[in-house]
Amino acid sequence: MRKTFFDEEIKSWSRFYRGNFVNSLSGFKSVSLIGTVDSDRRSNLAVFSNLVHLGADPALIGFINRPREAAPHTLANIEATSLYTINHITDSMVVQAHQTSAKYEEGVSEFNATGLNEEWIEGVPVPFVKESHVKYLLQLEDVVPIKQNGTFLVIGSLRLAVVPHEIISGDGFLHLEQAGSITSLGIDGYYNTSALGRFSYAKTDRPLTRL
């Protein structure tokens, strides 16, 4: 049996219950680890799932950062250095990835704390996650405050991408399920993925075909 919930009831729930419910509603998310350094070049790593494709030309990717007091280090580091890496998570890394969300002191590297390994690419001053199969480098373009709740939309432009060659289709589509990239739900649920299929560009005057 389905149940309908109106906003007054949703507002009356405990913070924890409401957080789980509302955070699940928007659906499965592209969970990743964001790697940064501070101005003393100390590494930081944290899990983020509110990532969004903003456009491919120019290639722009955004993520939502919570208010500064709740999630301070990644945003401050990005503002200090302008560069940050986004690293997909596979199921063998999921426990360590989740642990990066703990409130470690400023200057404590979540790489050291969790055992995930740094990977440095020549000429890039921020660390990638060695265990990640798909990873990319962004350059900060803008931090847009969201006035309704004190969060920020952090917009970055794509500078570099590392992707296993065998998951790239002839038309550029990435079969991320073959790279083992996982997805997340709510604030603490993680899922493997399986492909349902791809379809032709939808037109009003002809039926779809499977690709």
Ligand X SMILES: Cc1cc2nc3c(=O)[nH]c(=O)nc-3n(C[C@H](O)[C@H](O)[C@H](O)COP(=O)(O)O)c2cc1C
Binding site for ligand X (CB under 6 A): 31, 44, 46-50, 63-66, 70-74, 98, 101, 103, 184, 187-188
Closest CB to ligand X among residues 176, 190: 190
Counted residue by residue, the chain has a size of: 211
Distances in Å between the Cα of 38 and the Cα atoms of 4, 139, 189 are: 46, 15, 29
Cα 70 to the center of its chain, rounded Å: 17
Strand 128-129 to 43-48 pairing: unpaired
Q: How far is the CB of 45 from ligand X (least distance, A)?
A: 8
| φ, ψ for residue 108, nearest 5 deg | -85, 125
How many Å apart are CA 163 and CA 29, to the nearest integer? 19
Closest CB to ligand X among residues 154, 176: 154
Closest CB to ligand X among residues 54, 167: 54
Closest CB to ligand X among residues 15, 103: 103
Q: How far is the CB of 74 from ligand X (least distance, A)?
A: 3
First to last CA, the chain: 37
Q: How far is the CB of 77 from ligand X (least distance, A)?
A: 8
Q: How far is the CB of 119 from ligand X (least distance, A)?
A: 19
Residue 16, exposed/middle/buried by CB under 10 A (0-12, 13-18, 19+)? exposed
How many Å apart are CA 153 and CA 12, to the nearest integer? 28
Q: How far is the CB of 140 from ligand X (least distance, A)?
A: 14
